Structure 1
Amino acid sequence: MPELPEVEGLALFLRGKLVGQTVRRLTVVSFAALKTATIPADRLAGRTVTAVARHGKFLDVDADGVHLVFHLAKAGWLRWYDAVPAAPARPGKGPLAARFVLDHGSGFDLTEAGTRKSLAIYLAPVPDEVPGIARLGPDPLSAGFTRDDLATLLAAHRAQIKGVLRDQSNLAGIGNAYSDEILHAARLSPFAIAANLDGDAVTRLYESMRSTLAAAVEAAGGKPAAALKDAKRAGMRVHGRAGQPCPVCGDTVLQVIFADSSLQYCPTCQTGGRVLADRLLSRLLK
């Protein structure tokens, strides 16, 4: 799933391609992906793109006050074309969800692999009318988000820190991959209770969150959409690297498998050598 750094990278890429350009059309191929009918898709035609923004994991293309907002979800992606295929986009069983075309013929497809479709597209007069954006917590890279803000947030949650970081109503943009990376850098167990973290742990978490995300945003900047997935994978130290050596201590990276996801961690760096049980067992191995 694209998270804050990749979505920021896409926003930067699209800003350079779209701003100042006139929209020819938006074709929605998967009507299940269109979550609002307040503004019809044909209202975008003839409008000029004035801005591209990121809200958490949402991308927002502003075309003279009509906002095309989309969330790529777990298996969605954006495919850019310098020249959009001439064949019309038609509904079908393929991955295509929508096609956005500029007057001079360039544009992008929104696609989603697999059978579980959760990519979401919205057309709204203001982005805050999108429910997912309205409930977002603070952006962890915002200049106004301080270490004390994080401490207050954590103190209110007697839940595992991994889940607290991933909850978009707490912090906007962090998902499964970067929560693994942040917790590894902070030397914290993913199962630690957020409200129980002491002052030093909160400081480590804050600094690791800011530095990990900032480095990933910098790595994503300037890359075309097609290269962002590989850049994300290349930057991971523990996420997706179960069975490989930890780059910090050399111990073997382990994982915990859930019903529909998994997490990766280093037992030496994060859990004092303890091996975390599969959460289907709901406990730690002693």
Structure 2
Amino acid sequence: MPELPEVEALRGFLADACVGKTVARSELAAFTALKTFRIPLSALNGLEVDGVERRGKFVCLSIGGLWLVFHLARGGWLTWKDAMPVAPARPGRGPLAARVVFDDDTGFDLTEAGTQKRLALYVVDALDEVPGIVTLGPDPLGDDFTAQTLDGILSAAGRAQLKGVLRDQRIIAGIGNAYSDEILHAARLSPFKPSNGLDDAERATLYAAIRTELADAVARSAGLAARELKGDKKLNLRVHGKTGQPCPVCGTPIAEVSFADRSLQYCPGCQTGGKPLADRRLSRLLK
């Protein structure tokens, strides 16, 4: 799933690639992807792209007074093409969800792999018309996300587990499954530690890990083409998706906890005092 660093890189890529261009064709191939109906996708045709912004994991293209907003969800991606197909996009069971073609024949496809179709597309007058944007928490790389902001978040979360708090877009915008694993590993904190159970030093360490892990990932992704972002992300992850491999810090094999539709990875040596975390589907967390 694309998270804040990859989405920020896509924002920068699209800003360089399409600002100033005019939309020649906008085509919907997966009708369930479009979540708004008052303004048709075709309303973008003939309008000029004047900016690209990011809100959490949402990419927002400002186009002639309207906004084209998309969220790639778990299996979605953007494919840029310097020469778009002449034939119109056809609805079907394939991965193509939508296509945008510019006046110089460049453009991009929005695609989604897998059977769970969650990619979301919106055409709106204002960004506050997108429900997922209205409810977003603060951006963890924003100037207003201070150590005091995080302190307030952790206190308000009570005994909620750190992993869930970091992933909740209503609490902090942009962090997903992968970077929450990386942040908690950098902070040497258990993913299941209660949010209000951190002392002052642990809170400071967590804040520094959030800012550093995300900022470093954004810096690594800057300037990469859209097709390169997935590989770059996987290459630089230390624990997420690395089950059984040695921790790059202490050498302990990376462990995993599985859930119905996802899993988390962590280092027992760095994060849980050498103790494994129990699968919460089967038993209570080992502390």
Calculate the TM-score normalised by the size of structure 1.
0.99
Counterpart residue number, 2:15? 15
Q: Which moved more, 1:32-41 or 1:184-193?
A: 32-41
Q: CA deviation at 1:285?
A: 4.0
Question: Is 1:26 aligned to 2:22, yes or no?
Answer: no
Q: CA deviation at 1:87?
A: 2.4
Counterpart residue number, 2:47? 47
Counterpart mapping for 1:206-245 below 5 A: 206-245=207-246
Structure 2 portions without partners, runs of 5+:
none
Counterpart mapping for 1:103-122 below 5 A: 103-122=103-122
Structure 1 portions without partners, runs of 5+:
none
Could you list the structure 1 runs, at least 4 aligned residues long, displaced by more than 6 angstroms after superposition: none
| Offset from partner CA, 1:64-93 (integer Å, 9 cap, x none) | 211000000000000100000122200011
Counterpart residue number, 1:152? 152
Counterpart-to-counterpart distance in 2, 1:171 and 1:162: 12
Q: CA deviation at 1:281?
A: 2.0
Counterpart-to-counterpart distance in 1, 2:270 and 2:115: 37
| Offset from partner CA, 1:198-252 (integer Å, 9 cap, x none) | 1111100000000000000011110000000000001100000010010111111
Aligned residues: 286
* Equivalent AA in structure 2 for residue 217 of structure 1: V
Q: CA deviation at 1:270?
A: 0.3
Counterpart-to-counterpart distance in 1, 2:240 and 2:160: 21
Counterpart-to-counterpart distance in 2, 1:168 and 1:285: 27
Counterpart-to-counterpart distance in 2, 1:282 and 1:228: 37
Counterpart-to-counterpart distance in 1, 2:235 and 2:160: 30
* Equivalent pair of 2:98/2:109 in contact (CA under 8 Å): yes
* Equivalent pair of 2:98/2:110 in contact (CA under 8 Å): yes
* Identity within the alignment, %: 59
Question: Is 1:89 aligned to 2:89, yes or no?
Answer: yes
Counterpart-to-counterpart distance in 1, 2:125 and 2:81: 27
CA RMSD of aligned residues (A): 0.8
Counterpart residue number, 1:191? 192
Counterpart-to-counterpart distance in 2, 1:211 and 1:195: 22
* Equivalent pair of 2:18/2:49 in contact (CA under 8 Å): yes
Counterpart-to-counterpart distance in 2, 1:55 and 1:241: 29
* Equivalent AA in structure 1 for residue 214 of structure 2: L
Counterpart-to-counterpart distance in 2, 1:140 and 1:283: 31
Counterpart-to-counterpart distance in 1, 2:135 and 2:38: 20
Counterpart-to-counterpart distance in 2, 1:41 and 1:203: 45
* Equivalent pair of 2:252/2:269 in contact (CA under 8 Å): yes
| Offset from partner CA, 1:12-65 (integer Å, 9 cap, x none) | 000001111111121011110000012111111111100001100000011021
Q: CA deviation at 1:282?
A: 4.2
* Equivalent pair of 2:27/2:88 in contact (CA under 8 Å): no
Counterpart residue number, 1:164? 165
User: Is the alpha carbon distance of 1:49 and 1:176 closer, same or farther for their aligned partners in structure 2, counting shifts above 3 Å?
Assistant: same
Counterpart-to-counterpart distance in 2, 1:254 and 1:30: 38
* Equivalent AA in structure 2 for residue 273 of structure 1: G
Q: CA deviation at 1:284?
A: 2.6
* Equivalent AA in structure 1 for residue 38 of structure 2: T
Counterpart mapping for 1:109-148 below 5 A: 109-148=109-148
Counterpart-to-counterpart distance in 2, 1:35 and 1:217: 29
